[in-house]
């Protein structure tokens, strides 16, 4: 099927993903005003579209008008090249719109980027790529902890550019920035992610889903819980100021 429209995919989060049409349904076709060439007909059609990345579907509504008869039928459009837009239709709306993937709150944008890619690879059944991006999420998270918690530029430089991930995780525990449990979780993500990136055997779906779960838990501990605590503290300060 040819790509007939580009929409941000609500299932896998791919921006301007190419969607193909697989079916359609004419919701309404009304006869409007009369002109010298006949009545003007207004049609409103819904199309079932599949994302080129994850193959999951959305529905898109298009509208068009035609003078002297009903606009071209959906089956005729689909049998040619399936593009409502190229047949004079204009895009109206699509559902669902909201991205359904679950990113923990308060995670910085630069960490969200690899994590969203991990999730979008899960939706697209790319298990190796999902695992590799989970490992990258961990890698960037450890560097972010170094930059936000350590003040000495020399120390930051050493831990970011001259220390491998495994040693950096251990160092973060020794410096008190990761608890024993979190250090273990981080090492697990590292080892599993290495497996996804380097093993000859293809990475399996259950392994990839588990690994994403570990990465999600890590992000929740590192960003979401402290973020929530800060927001509660901030509220308490604001209320004290208001009360004074
Ligand atoms: Zn998609």
Domain match, 169 and 203 both: yes
- Cα(132) to centroid of ligand 1, in Å? 19
Domain match, 121 and 217 both: yes
Task: Give a yes or no: residue 186 inside a domain.
Answer: yes
Task: Give a yes or no: residue 159 inside a domain.
Answer: yes
Cα separation of 83 and 131, whole Å? Answer: 36
Structural domain total, the chain:
2
Task: Give a yes or no: residue 100 inside a domain.
Answer: no
> Phi-psi region for residue 135, left (φ > 0), alpha (ψ -120 to 50) or beta?
alpha
Domain match, 42 and 153 both: no
- Cα(48) to centroid of ligand 1, in Å? 13
pLDDT band at 50 (very low <50, low <70, confident <90, very high): very high
Cα separation of 162 and 155, whole Å? Answer: 10
- Cα(123) to centroid of ligand 1, in Å? 7
Q: Which of 52-61, 81-90, 188-197 is modeled with the greatest confidence?
A: 188-197
- Cα(129) to centroid of ligand 1, in Å? 15
Domain match, 77 and 196 both: no
Domain match, 235 and 114 both: yes
Output the CA angle 111-113-116, nearest 5 degrees. Answer: 110
Task: Give a yes or no: residue 76 inside a domain.
Answer: yes
Q: What is the percent of the chain where pLDDT is above 90?
A: 64
Task: Give a yes or no: residue 104 inside a domain.
Answer: no
- Cα(128) to centroid of ligand 1, in Å? 18
Q: What is the pLDDT of residue 99?
A: 61
Judge whether residue 138 has pLDDT over 90: yes
Domain match, 221 and 113 both: yes
Task: Give a yes or no: residue 88 inside a domain.
Answer: yes
- Cα(93) to centroid of ligand 1, in Å? 17
- Cα(83) to centroid of ligand 1, in Å? 19
Judge whether residue 129 has pLDDT over 80: yes
pLDDT band at 29 (very low <50, low <70, confident <90, very high): very high
Q: Of 68, 95, 122, which one is at a domain's C-terminal end?
A: 95
**Count of positions (residues) in the chain:** 244
Do 7 and 20 form a contact (C-beta atoms < 8 A)?
Answer: no
Domain match, 58 and 169 both: no
- Cα(22) to centroid of ligand 1, in Å? 15
Output the CA angle 202-118-6, nearest 5 degrees. Answer: 110
Structural domain boundaries enclosing 34: 3-95
Does the pTM surpass 0.85? The reply is: no
> Span 40-58, mean pLDDT?
91
> Span 183-201, mean pLDDT?
93
Judge whether residue 58 has pLDDT over 80: yes
Cα separation of 19 and 236, whole Å? Answer: 48
pLDDT band at 49 (very low <50, low <70, confident <90, very high): very high
pLDDT band at 128 (very low <50, low <70, confident <90, very high): very high
Segments of 70-109 assigned E as strands: 90-95
């Amino acid at each position: 099927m040819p790509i007939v429209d580009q929409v941000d995919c609500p299932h896998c989060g791919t921006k301007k993903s190419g969607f193909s049409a697989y079916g359609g349904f004419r919701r309404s076709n009304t006869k409007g005003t009369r002109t010298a060439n006949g009545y003007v007909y207004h049609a409103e059609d819904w199309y079932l579209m599949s994302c080129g990345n994850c193959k999951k579907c959305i529905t898109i509504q298009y509208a068009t008008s035609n003078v002297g008869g009903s606009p071209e039928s959906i089956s005729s459009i689909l049998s040619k090249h399936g593009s409502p837009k190229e047949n004079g239709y204009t895009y109206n709306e699509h559902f669902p719109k909201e991205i359904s993937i679950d990113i923990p709150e308060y995670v910085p944008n630069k960490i969200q980027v690899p994590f969203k890619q991990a999730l979008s690879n899960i939706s697209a059944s790319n298990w190796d790529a999902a695992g590799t991006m989970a490992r990258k999420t961990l890698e960037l998270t450890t560097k972010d902890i170094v930059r936000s918690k350590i003040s000495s530029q020399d120390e930051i430089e050493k831990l970011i550019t001259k220390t491998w991930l495994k040693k950096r995780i251990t160092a973060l525990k020794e410096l008190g920035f990761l608890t024993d449990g979190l250090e273990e979780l981080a090492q697990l993500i590292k080892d599993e992610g290495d497996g996804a990136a380097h093993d000859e055997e293809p990475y399996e779906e259950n392994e990839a889903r588990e690994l994403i779960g570990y990465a999600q838990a890590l992000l929740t501990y590192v960003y979401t819980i402290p973020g929530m605590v800060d927001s509660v503290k901030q509220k308490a300060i604001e209320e004290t100021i208001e009360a004074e």
